[in-house]
Chains A and B, each alone.
Chain A
Amino acid sequence: MELLKTSLHGDHLALKAKMAPFAGFDMPIQYTSVKDEVLAVRNNVGIFDVSHMGEFFVTGPDAIKFVDHLITNDFQNAEMLKAVYSPLCRENGTIIDDLIAYKLNDKKVLICVNASNIQKDWNWISSKTQGFNIELTNRSDDYSLIAVQGPKTEEILKKLEVLDSTEFPYYSIKEAAFNGENIILARTGYTGEDGFEIFSSHAMARTLWIKLQALGAVPCGLAARDVLRLEVCYPLYGHELTDDVTPLDTGLGWTVKLTKENFISKETLTNYKAKYQLVKLSLDKGIPREGYSVLNGDKEVIGKVTSGTMSVINNKGIALALVEKAKISADKKYYIDIRNQQYEAIVHTKAFVTGGHK
């Protein structure tokens, strides 16, 4: 099957990015160096083409009620213009995807989903509309999406006059006019830093991409994006989150609001006892990688690394690992097997890196 191209594909080639297939798209993996790109986001500002991601709109009188019913987190009580992160679960509690739902107004919700799950999510969500007075549209092909991330994001977007001086809290959204066109600005991201995600037409995305670079924003690829999200312990679908686990197994208990009146999976999750636990591990020597075995203090295999990398900020190997809860040893020790050698891991209760988002 031929790979899809985002509206910025030609710009990535012009920048001589290393390209690779991702979720059916030919995407930039890195432009110059993963390290430099990560540092640009932590210290300055980086831009990512994430146009491959999916955008669904729910409109109509029951829009908010419907989205609240779909997801495990509380959407009903979120303030207007707020964004809510949540898993999307089946009745049996397993995770279909994770998403951000944006409350644009009382009759309009934008849902942003993972590129690899667009069809799966669409099939699921559109099968659940009965009894709700809503209209559901898949606008994934109509929108480009640029993530602008890093401590200098606000400054650069004000210079560009994309942002004005009015207050714009973290995890909120606004529809705005820019160069005579309507765009959607969301103060969200996947790096742990302050930043915005800009939903726009394809032509506008190209304009923004060029203008942002002229103001010093550094193009960053999917490799840097993965390191950045892992440093702040954000889960990724297909790794920490899969069709086989519930949010309670994989560190997302905080997104399951069992006090909500009703939602898909409420019944199962109310009585669910987690089988797995997601642990944050680092190594003094060696780099944990996805699939490596994790052992307990008795050297029994109890799980696997779901994501692993070298942290650019800590200069250490870091990992998220899914382990069987019942097999965690009393000494709470973990070892990671790298090429048949077992390295004792350091257990972290907080993220490896603290992002600067507000």
Chain B
Amino acid sequence: MANVPSNLKYTKEHEWAKLEGDILTVGITDFAQSSLGDVVFVELPAVGKELKNGQAFGVVESIKSVSDLYSPVDGVVVESNADLPNSPETCNQSPYDNAWMIKIKLKNPADFNTLLSADEYNSFLASL
């Protein structure tokens, strides 16, 4: 069973999000890393990049597959995990902590409420 921490929010694209003030930290879920297998490449956006809800902001690749990363909200990238592209295997080892991907300054804080709760994401996983 995939690990789905109850204190985070989720998307149907298998990303997690954590809000602190008006800064949203985003990464991929345990389910995502497990489905991908060995992650060998991560490409993240530069700080300052403006993102729209649903826009592809980066790429995560396993040996055999390529997956886009999608922004769960409108906002601006204020930090990008510079260590991650150098150690992509962190995505498999620590998806919810060390493998955080970007921090987005929310344009519209209400966007946060549209994300899935852990229970909702669990139900979504069960439906796959």
Contact = CB atoms under 8 A, between A and B. Distances in A.
Contacts of B45: none
Contacts of A30: 37
B23 interface: no
A227 B37 CA distance: 14
A283 to B, nearest CB: 10
B59 A310 contact: no
Contact of A286 (B37, B41, B63): B41
A309 B38 CA distance: 12
Interface string B50-62: 0000000001011
B59 A33 contact: no
B40 interface: yes
A206 interface: no
B90 to A, nearest CB: 15
A289 interface: yes
A35 B40 CA distance: 10
Dominant SS among interface residues on chain A: mixed
Contacts of A286: 41
B38 A223 contact: no
Given A30-B37, A286-B41, A310-B41, A35 B59 contact: no
Nearest to A341: B43
B37 A33 contact: yes
Contacts of B66: 287, 289
A184 B69 CA distance: 48
B64 A223 contact: yes
B93 to A, nearest CB: 13
28 contacts: A30-B37, A33-B37, A33-B38, A34-B37, A34-B62, A34-B63, A34-B64, A35-B38, A35-B63, A223-B37, A223-B63, A226-B64, A227-B64, A286-B41, A287-B40, A287-B61, A287-B66, A289-B66, A309-B63, A309-B64, A310-B40, A310-B41, A310-B61, A310-B63, A312-B63, A315-B40, A317-B41, A339-B59
